[in-house]
Structure formats: structure tokens, C-alpha cells
């Protein structure tokens, strides 16, 4: 007997050129490098240039992921972009990316699950691939979050940045007992929490884009428990324990949340990939950005067992276990 599994073929990422350090942030709002580093672990963030859109960030990350996979856009038949900051209200940023890649075949759509977007998008691609709806997918997390920040609100503007990460996955027929590719995922949403982290504008409410509002302490309070919940679910589904993990690649929102989840689950710091210091919280882009860094520097290798997770607005939260 055989089964179809979703295998990772390549990673790519892109951060806009413009870097804003905590020191520069302190010239805009009443904050300090010391406060930001101590509470979040963030040292700098990247900001998209005027006229540089989410689809432009997607394109650069996607070209790098395709190159790493040894493929071209012609090989792809599904594009999913996870973003909270699309170029336009419609069409989907994935459709704009598709044409920027020179493709007109296959299908392309966006997923909106805020910071959990990449995990939701990858799980969706995995389902399409395993059911035969597509053969090779480009899954992208990309944000121009700087465009929805209130740059006078120090409680939010210091936390976020812009960027993109992309992954190429392929459906492969394997033996029934083979353990490779995406092994299991767990996704959750509880909309009762939406007012704890939201944007105060939208197409059908205000007709404006709006700005990010967050009850930081409330988000913090829920984050570690929710992250642990989906990770434990994935481990149970696969019969694994945290000791089996080679790498833990969490959503890069806040070093204290990452440390808290690691402690609760018993995952040592040496196995945890942390890049939040370099790009702040890039929402849907954060997990593929961190994965790209760890693949490029040789930490994540073929055969490694990798746990990814994210939690964000909605609330949404999710995890996937991948045999690389
Ligand atoms: N610089 C300096 N002081 C600040 C800043 C700032 N940027 N922001 C807030 N403060 C002040 C507050 O005004 C407050 O002052 P006061 O005591 O005089 O009233 C003091 O610092 C403490 O404020 P708190 O909000 O209690 O600070 P806290 O220790 O909770 O840290 C933080 C705030 C970092 C936002 C924290 O709550 C947190 O990490 N929450 C999780 C939020 C998060 O990561 N969200 C990302 C999106 S969701 C996700 O991706 C999971």
C-alpha cells in the first residue's frame, strides 16, 4: 500500500532593505532599546519602501524558495498566500503574485488567520496535495504590517515589522509506513477573543484600513497555553514526544512567549530557532522566515523532526510536525 505525503522542497525569505533599530524607534515614540529588548527580545525590524507591496515581498521570497527547490513557477499548480496586509481588498495577493511569477495556470488564493496564517496555509496546501487537488504548492507568509500600525502608539508599533517567507511543497507517493513530510497538524480558532487583538477598520465596517489594537497582557496570558495545546495535540496524533524533536520553530512574536512555551513543553533553548530579534513580529511571515534562516545556516537538515507553531489574532493558533 502507498499513501501521498507532502514533502518540503525549498525555503526562501525576504526582508525589505530599510532597517529600523530600537534606537531609531525611541526617536519616534517614548520607548527605549532596553525596554523593548527586555519585554520582547526585539532589536530591529525591516520596513517596506514606499510603493513596495506585500506581493513584491512575496515575489522575492518565492523566487528564492523556487530556486532552493530546483523548480520554476511552471512546476507549481497551487499558490496560497497567508497575509493580513493584502495589496488590495481584492483580488487575492496570491493572484497578483501568480502573475508576477509569470504564471496563468493552477489556482491561487489568500488565507487570513493573522499570525497563524502560515500554519493554516501550509495545512490547507497539505490537504490539497494529499487529496490530489494539486501536485506542487508555493506557500507564502507575507506582511507589510507597518502600514496598519499606529506610529504614535508605543504599546504596538515597537512590536511588528515587514517581511516574507515562502515554502515549496510537493505531493509524493510513499510507502504506507513511511514517515516523511508533514506528519500531522492541529488548527484552532476562538473568535470570542477577537477584541483582544484587532484592527479598528475594514471594508464592511468603516470602509477604512484601520490600525492595530492589542491588549498585550491578555494576549500574553493566553499564548503559552494555546501554543502548548496544539503542540500536544500534534504529538499525540503522531505518537511523538518533545524529546523526539530536533527543532522547535515557533511564531516569532516575542522571546518571552517563546521561552514560556519552551519551558512548559520541556523543549530546550538549543533546539529552539529564534529570529525575532532581527525582524520583530512579521505576523504570517514569521515562521517561514525563521525556517529559512535555520535551513540556510545548516541547522535544519533533511530527516530532522521539526515542530512549527503560531498564535495570533482571532484568536487563531496551530502547529504542524514535519519530517524534513
Ligand atoms: N516602551 C516603554 N514603555 C512601554 C512601552 C514601550 N514600547 N509599551 C508599554 N509601556 C509601558 C506601559 O505604559 C506601562 O507603563 P505604566 O506601568 O506606567 O502604566 C508599562 O510599560 C508596562 O506595560 P504592560 O503593558 O503591562 O507591559 P508588559 O510587561 O505586559 O509588556 C508587551 C507589554 C510586551 C506587549 C507584553 O504584554 C506582551 O508581550 N504581550 C504579548 C503581545 C504580543 O506579543 N503580541 C504580538 C501579536 S500576538 C502574537 O503574535 C502572539
Q: Tell how far the Cα of 307 is from the centroid of ligand 1, in angstroms.
A: 27
Position 137 scores a pLDDT of 99
Per-residue pLDDT tens digits for 16-34:
999 999 999 999 999 999 9
β 197-199/181-189 pair status: unpaired
Per-residue pLDDT tens digits for 43-76:
999 999 999 999 999 999 999 999 999 999 999 9
- Give the pLDDT band of residue 200 (cuts 50, 70, 90): very high
Alpha-carbon torsion angle 100, 102, 104, 108, nearest 10: -40
CATH topology of domain 181-323: Peroxisomal Thiolase; Chain A, domain 1 (3.40.47)
What are the two backbone dihedrals, phi and then psi, of residue 256, each rounded to the nearest 5 degrees? Answer: -70, -35
CATH superfamily of 2-175: Thiolase/Chalcone synthase (3.40.47.10)
Q: Whose CA is nearest to atom 1 of ligand 1?
A: 31
Secondary structure of 101-123 as H, E, C letters: CCCCCCEEEEECCHHHHHHHHHH
Tell me whether the CATH fold assigned to 2-175 matches the one assigned to 181-323.
yes
177, pLDDT greater than 90: no
Position 320 scores a pLDDT of 98
Q: Whose CA is nearest to atom 31 of ligand 1?
A: 39
Q: Tell how far the Cα of 104 is from the centroid of ligand 1, in angstroms.
A: 45
β 247-250/212-214 pair status: unpaired
- What are the residue ranges spanned by the domains of the chain? 2-175, 181-323
Position 294 scores a pLDDT of 98
81, pLDDT greater than 90: yes
Whole-model pTM above 0.95? yes
Position 242 scores a pLDDT of 97
Mean pLDDT of 242-248: 98
Q: Which atom of ligand 1 is nearest to the CA of 157?
A: 7
Burial class (CB in 10 A: 0-12, 13-18, 19+), 269: exposed
Cell of 274: 529564534
Q: Which atom of ligand 1 is nearest to the CA of 114?
A: 50
Identify whether the C-beta of residue 146 lies closer than 8 Å to the C-beta of residue 15. no
Residues with CB under 6 A from ligand 1: 31, 35, 39-40, 115, 154-155, 158-159, 197, 214, 216-217, 219-220, 223, 251, 253-254, 256-257, 281, 311-312
Nearest to 101 by CA among 71, 123, 128: 71
CA distance 272 to 309: 12
- Give the pLDDT band of residue 176 (cuts 50, 70, 90): confident
Position 125 scores a pLDDT of 98
Per-residue pLDDT tens digits for 214-241:
999 999 999 999 999 999 999 999 999 9
Nearest to 213 by CA among 235, 187, 195, 188: 195
Mean pLDDT of 255-281: 97
Task: State yes or no: cis peptide before 195, omega within 30 of 0.
Answer: no
Amino acid at each position: 500500500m502507498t499513501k501521498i505525503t507532502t514533502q518540503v522542497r525549498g525555503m526562501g525569505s525576504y526582508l525589505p532593505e530599510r532597517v529600523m533599530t530600537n534606537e531609531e524607534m525611541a526617536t519616534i515614540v517614548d520607548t527605549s532599546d532596553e525596554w523593548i529588548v527586555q519585554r520582547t527580545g526585539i532589536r530591529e525590524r525591516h520596513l517596506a519602501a514606499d510603493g513596495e507591496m506585500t506581493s513584491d515581498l512575496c515575489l522575492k521570497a518565492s523566487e528564492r524558495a523556487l530556486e532552493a527547490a530546483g523548480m520554476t513557477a511552471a512546476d507549481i499548480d497551487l499558490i496560497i498566500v497567508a497575509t493580513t496586509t493584502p495589496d488590495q481588498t481584492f483580488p487575492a495577493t496570491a493572484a497578483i503574485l501568480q502573475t508576477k511569477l509569470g504564471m496563468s495556470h493552477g489556482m491561487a488564493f489568500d488565507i487570513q488567520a493573522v499570525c497563524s496564517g502560515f500554519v493554516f496555509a501550509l495545512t490547507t496546501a497539505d490537504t490539497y496535495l494529499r487529496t490530489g487537488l494539486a501536485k506542487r504548492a508555493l506557500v507564502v507568509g507575507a506582511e507589510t504590517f507597518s502600514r496598519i500600525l499606529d506610529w504614535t502608539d508605543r504599546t504596538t508599533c515597537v512590536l511588528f515589522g515587514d517581511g516574507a517567507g515562502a515554502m515549496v511543497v510537493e505531493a509524493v507517493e510513499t510507502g504506507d509506513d513511511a514517515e516523511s513530510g508533514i506528519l500531522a497538524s492541529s488548527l484552532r480558532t476562538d473568535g470570542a477573543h477577537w477584541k483582544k487583538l484587532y484592527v479598528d477598520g475594514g471594508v464592511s465596517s468603516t470602509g477604512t484600513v484601520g490600525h492595530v489594537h492589542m491588549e498585550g497582557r491578555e494576549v500574553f496570558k493566553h499564548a503559552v497555553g494555546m501554543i502548548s495545546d496544539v503542540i500536544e495535540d500534534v504529538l499525540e496524533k503522531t505518537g511523538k514526544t518533545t524529546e523526539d524533536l530536533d527543532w522547535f520553530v515557533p511564531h516569532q512574536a516575542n522571546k518571552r512567549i517563546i521561552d514560556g512555551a519552551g519551558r512548559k513543553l520541556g523543549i530546550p533553548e538549543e533546539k529552539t530557532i529564534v529570529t525575532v530579534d532581527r525582524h520583530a513580529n512579521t505576523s504570517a511571515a514569521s515562521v517561514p522566515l525563521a525556517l529559512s534562516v535555520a535551513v540556510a545556516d545548516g541547522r535544519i537538515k533533511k530527516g530532522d523532526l521539526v515542530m512549527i507553531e503560531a498564535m495570533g489574532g482571532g484568536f487563531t493558533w496551530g502547529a504542524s510536525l514535519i519530517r524534513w
